[in-house]
Amino acid sequence: MTESPPKHDPAEGLRGVDRLIAHVSDLPSVRMAMVHPCDALSLSGAMDAARAGMIHPVLVGPRHKLAAAAAEAGIDLTGVEIVDAPHSHAAAAKAAEMAGRGEVEALMKGSLHTDEFLGAIVAREGGLRTERRISHCFVMETAAYPRPFIITDAAINIAPDLLCKADITQNAIDLAQAIGVRLPKVAILSAVEVVNPRLQSTLDAAALCKMADRGQIRDGVLDGPLALDNAVSPDAARIKGIASPVAGQADILVVPDIESGNMLAKQLEYLGNADSAGIVMGARVPAVLTSRADSRQARLASCAIAKLLAHRYRAAPP
């Protein structure tokens, strides 16, 4: 009897966005509501993801504006499902309603304000809220670090308190597991690596680690406070005498507030040539929160993560 050859991993040898797209290539596309994609950029992003086999797009917005955006982008909308909505607020509400009824399995922001998009997701009547606070995760990969990692929250929660940070951390752990990290290492960041009662982020870090010890945060290994160098550099951690299962090898970086997280993520993207993707966690469906400055590759990668999560939620709803 001859042994079967090992199964080929389509993502083998690839990196960044290409690896992420290859990783989900065997999964069927999912129905995603594109919320008010009424400019050429957001509509093109939706159709790119459809052509790549990520999604089956459902365009939700004013039909005449969608037609105008398609004409500007040179896109043929023949056969594309459109749900007419009079304006952006109505489009967000309608898309959330569709997701709550199971008619779509993911959402993606188009050319509307972030507050409108997120407001529809957290509205009680939409049926998408869970017990957790929603939060945003950047999945990033840079040549300077040996593995992909997550930065959170750099887009939604402005100045999270301790309980909000607990939800942010758990959301990131769930995402890390979905993309293949069985027991993610979580660094709770501050400016220093010791607890200082005058620096709230160090107190929060210590409390989060104890919450993990008591099972209030699950399925991850937490340590903090850690300064960024100690979280990602084994040499920095060794020089400072930090003995930790997380230091120097973090899979998740939990930042103190939106300002530090946003600057960190954008520095890596624009100055460190990092590949990035973003997703909103904590709702009953994954939601892609795009920026007007996002590249085509970032949009595709974000849709790939949404596709992966949508399939995971079928078996284990959040």
For the segment 14-55, what is each residue's pLDDT rounded down to a tens digit?
556 677 778 888 899 999 999 999 999 999 988 999 998 889
End-to-end CA distance of the chain: 44
Give the per-residue pLDDT at 15. Answer: 59
The percent of residues in the chain predicted with pLDDT above 70, rounded, is: 95
Asked whether residue 7 carries a pLDDT value surpassing 70, the answer given is: no
The pTM of this model reads 0.92
Handedness of CA 240, 245, 249, 254 (dihedral sign): negative
All domains in the chain, ordered by first residue = 27-130 (3.40.50.10950), 132-282 (3.40.718.10)
Asked whether residue 4 carries a pLDDT value surpassing 70, the answer given is: no
227/236 Cα distance (integer angstroms): 10
Give the per-residue pLDDT at 2. Answer: 46
- What single-letter DSSP state applies at residue 33? E
73/69 Cα distance (integer angstroms): 6
Contacts of 19 (CB under 8 A, 6+ apart): 11
